[in-house]
Amino acid sequence: MRTLMNTLWKAVLLGCFSLPVWANEAVLEKVAIETDVKSIERGAEALMGACHSCHSMKYLHYRDLVSYGMDKQKVETWRGDQPLDGAILAQMGESDAMASFGKVPPDLSLMAKARDGGANYLYSYLLGYYLKADGMAGNHLYPETKMPDVLNVSGTTDAAQHAEIAGQARDIVSFLAWVSDPHEAERIRLGYYVIAYLLVLTTLLYLLKNQIWSRLK
Amino acid sequence: MPGRIIEWIDQRFPLTSFVKHDLTGYPTPRNLSYWWNFGFLAGFVLVLQVATGIFLAMHYKADIAQSFDSIQHIMRDVNYGWLLRYMHATGASAFFFVIFVHMARTLYYGSYRAPRELMWWTGQGLLLLLMATAFMGYLLPWGQMSFWGATVITNLFRATPFIGDQVVIWLRGDYTVGDATLTRFFSLHYLFPFIIFAAVGIHLVALHTVKSSNPSGINLADKDNIPFHPYFTIKDLYGLGIFLIVYSVFVFFMPDSLIEPANNIPANPMQTPNHIVPEWYFLPFYAILRSVPNLVGGVLAMGLSVMIFAFMPFLDRSRIPGGAHFRPIFKIQFYLFLVDMFILGYVGYVPPTPQTIVIGQIATLCYFGSFFLIPFVSKAEERWLMQRGLPPEITALIEKEAHDKEARKKTPLRRKGDIA
């Protein structure tokens, strides 16, 4: 019985370790997200220029950008004739987008959470464009994509220029990460207090437990 | 004055005797380890889920056109809505984690054996209720995984003989998972926790009749029992502190680690996700479902894999007390079973490939095999241990247990306050 189980167990283990399960998953470039207002504002600016014409962020309102601490003048420019309390909608209508791309570009509010790999996925995707043999731009990470190479990664050969684009992509991704979870900074700050409080409480409970149990002999 | 109020109540309601019987005088084995904290923790998480859930329901909209948006409304606009939602989502995982440890402890120490079979079976019922509640709750955010998970699982009821298709429509309220499904799942998701409360009450009445088991596996003499309060109230509270620290790390620092990325995309009946995975706590059972190539067979195997725990009191034929504590073979079986569970969980998580399917089938065979072998292995192990000569203290324990059993037959179990 035991030897049988042992053999089975070995076979199973060997099988597990030799699995090429993740082999088809592309390797993502890692990106360190920025969390300060300035960088996120830069990201918003880049996004408003490159993405806003087609993509909406319907869970975010223009006012949220102002109350987060972004420059009011810039937000005014971005919103155009849209109301300050209105959701950030794409400049292009859905039917126009359908006509141009064959599908409605997805809403970006939760994009940083909606893909395996999160921010790393978005960063790798934005930088994943290359020039195909037919002279069109293709994407390594998502070959079926209908999105044009908005940052012009495929047309850049200059290293310095490429670094600049990478910085821009990083800002955009940082902004999208903030949009997907605007309370994250508050959550983490509160988390430290909660954990500190619980550590003190648990220590006291432990001491009290020892004291009460010491009555037993 | 307080004394007179209590006296007034006592003449109308057994308050003092209840507190004495079930708290300050409730005899609890003093040798309980921290593995015995998890029942209390499960009760705590239940209260936590109900408390956060009630507030979430105030802001949630059960309507396929609005539910996804209402979750984002909770996450962004409701004061501390993000906290409520992350506590509730993490709480579901915490609930299963605590229950799985609670069950593993019961299996390891053989706490399911006489006279605690009813505890084990009411616990089994609680597990089913918990699974149903969690499954229905997962549909409510109306994300891609919510929709497709509910579609896959309700579709399994097609395996019902003769009326399969009708049963599926009856469950969904429609031909596909839709608004009718969402509203009924919301309604039942709100109802089930209160049924769970009632079932926990039954579980506790049974517990307070047979009392807690303990690592030695026998009923201890009175000198080894201590009152539940204050000794175990404080021990449970200390355990709760540790639990809350781990729970808070998840809630505040990694809340998305337990939420599938695809569930941040609104449900789209026209687009199947590349890979439909259930929540982690269903993975081993899901792997068993997928390991059987035939629908009816898969559903039966999955159902049996959950229900088979109920047979443990009949399957385990060894009279040696203390579960795996004093039984080396049973201990090996226990750990192999845990390893098998993890393998099944892994197989349930990854997209199926020819290798994982074979591994899943072997692991499924091991899963059921380990249960079917228990009657023979436990008996053989008992004979082997007897032959080898048990340590004197265990022999004494067994003799005492046999004697107690005889005594119990003559005088049925009674509460202290019962009239003879």
SS3 A88: strand
Q: What pLDDT is stored for residue B403 in this prediction?
A: 77
**Segment B323-337 mean pLDDT:** 92
CA distance between the termini of chain A: 45
DSSP state, residue A107? P
Q: What pLDDT is stored for residue B386 in this prediction?
A: 86
Q: What pLDDT is stored for residue B219 in this prediction?
A: 74
- Give the dihedral of Cα atoms B223, B26, B322, B97; nearest 10 deg: -150
Calculate ∠ Cα A201-A205-A210, nearest 5°.
150
Q: List CB contacts (< 8 A) between B226 and chain A.
A: 216
For B90-130, the pLDDT digits (tens) are: 999 999 999 999 999 999 999 999 889 999 999 999 999 99
Q: For residues A51 and A57, give the distance between their C-alpha atoms in angstroms, rounded to a whole number.
A: 10
**Segment B179-194 mean pLDDT:** 98
CA–CA min distance B149, chain A (Å):
17
Higher per-residue confidence, B279 vs A19:
B279
Q: For residues B95 and B89, give the distance between their C-alpha atoms in angstroms, rounded to a whole number.
A: 10
The ipTM is 0.90
Share of chain B above pLDDT 90, in %: 84
Phi then psi dihedrals of residue B126, to 5 deg? -60, -40
Would you say residue B326 has pLDDT above 90? no
Q: What pLDDT is stored for residue A22 in this prediction?
A: 43
Question: Is there a contact between B241 and A201 if contact means CB atoms under 8 Å apart?
Answer: yes
The sign one gets for the Cα dihedral B224, B225, B226, B232 is positive
Residue A59: closest C-alpha in chain B:
B72
Amino acid at B142: W
Chain A, window 188-207: residues with a beta carbon less than 8 angstroms from a chain B beta carbon = 188, 190-191, 194-195, 198-199, 201-202, 205-206
Tracing tokens 């042992």 back to the chain, one arrives at: A6
CA neighbours closer than 13 Å in the CB half-sphere of residue A39:
17
- Asked if residues B394 and B320 have their Cβ atoms less than 8 Å apart, the reply is yes
Would you say residue B305 has pLDDT above 80? yes
Record the tokens describing residue B158, joined without a space: 């097609």
- Give the β-pairing of A129-131 and A137-139: antiparallel
Q: Please, which residues bridge with residue A131 across strands?
A: A137
Across chain A, which distance is largest between two alpha carbons, in Å?
86
Residue B239: closest C-alpha in chain A:
A202
Phi then psi dihedrals of residue B69, to 5 deg? -65, -40
For chain B, what are the domain ranges?
21-262, 283-414
Q: Is B208 tagged catalytic? A: yes
- Asked if residues B417 and B15 have their Cβ atoms less than 8 Å apart, the reply is no
Record the tokens describing residue B174, joined without a space: 């429609």
User: How far apart, in Å, are the Cα atoms of B238 and each of A105, B38, B41, B234, B390?
Assistant: 52, 12, 11, 6, 37
**Segment B395-410 mean pLDDT:** 72
Question: Is there a contact between A15 and B238 if contact means CB atoms under 8 Å apart?
Answer: no
The sign one gets for the Cα dihedral A192, A198, A202, A205 is positive
For B210-266, the pLDDT digits (tens) are: 999 998 887 776 668 899 999 999 999 999 999 999 999 999 999 999 999 999 999
**Closest Cα to residue B415, out of B12, B11, B112, B25?**
B25
**Closest Cα to residue A125, out of A148, A109, A113, A142?**
A142
Would you say residue B397 has pLDDT above 80? no
Q: What pLDDT is stored for residue B114 in this prediction?
A: 86
Q: Mind giving me the DSSP string for B87-146? A: HHHHHHHHHHHHHHHHHHHHHHTTTTSTT-HHHHHHHHHHHHHHHHHHHHHHHTT-BHHH
Q: Is B179 tagged catalytic? A: no
Question: Is there a contact between B355 and A19 if contact means CB atoms under 8 Å apart?
Answer: yes
Q: Is B212 tagged catalytic? A: yes
Residue A118: closest C-alpha in chain B:
B261
- Domain B21-262: which topology? Cytochrome Bc1 Complex; Chain C (1.20.810)
Pick from B234, B265, B362: CB nearest A114: B265
- Asked if residues B363 and B302 have their Cβ atoms less than 8 Å apart, the reply is no
DSSP state, residue A86? S
Q: What pLDDT is stored for residue A18 in this prediction?
A: 44
Q: What pLDDT is stored for residue B221 in this prediction?
A: 66
Chain B contact probe: residue of A67, A142, A212, A217 with most B CBs at under 10 A: A212
Q: For residues A213 and A172, give the distance between their C-alpha atoms in angstroms, rounded to a whole number.
A: 57
Would you say residue B394 has pLDDT above 80? no
Higher per-residue confidence, A111 vs B401:
A111
Q: What pLDDT is stored for residue A217 in this prediction?
A: 73
Q: For residues B29 and B223, give the distance between their C-alpha atoms in angstroms, rounded to a whole number.
A: 9
Would you say residue B3 has pLDDT above 80? yes
Q: Mind giving me the DSSP string for B227-240? A: EHHHHHHHHHHHHH
User: Residue B417's pLDDT band (boundaries 50, 70, 90)?
Assistant: low
Q: Within 10 Å of residue B411's Cβ, how many Cβ atoms? A: 8
Q: List CB contacts (< 8 A) between A201 and chain B.
A: 241
For B7-37, the pLDDT digits (tens) are: 999 999 999 999 999 999 999 998 999 999 9
A110 close contact with B: CB closer than 8 A: yes
User: How far apart, in Å, are the Cα atoms of B53 and each of A26, A142, B179, B181, B329?
Assistant: 39, 38, 21, 19, 44
- Asked if residues B117 and B313 have their Cβ atoms less than 8 Å apart, the reply is yes
Residue B339: closest C-alpha in chain A:
A9
Segment-wise mean pLDDT, segments of 10 residues, chain A, 217 residues: 52 48 65 93 95 94 95 94 94 87 92 94 94 89 91 90 95 97 96 98 98 91
Q: Within 10 Å of residue B417's Cβ, how many Cβ atoms? A: 10
Q: For residues A88 and A98, give the distance between their C-alpha atoms in angstroms, rounded to a whole number.
A: 19
Q: For residues B286 and B283, give the distance between their C-alpha atoms in angstroms, rounded to a whole number.
A: 5
SS3 A131: strand
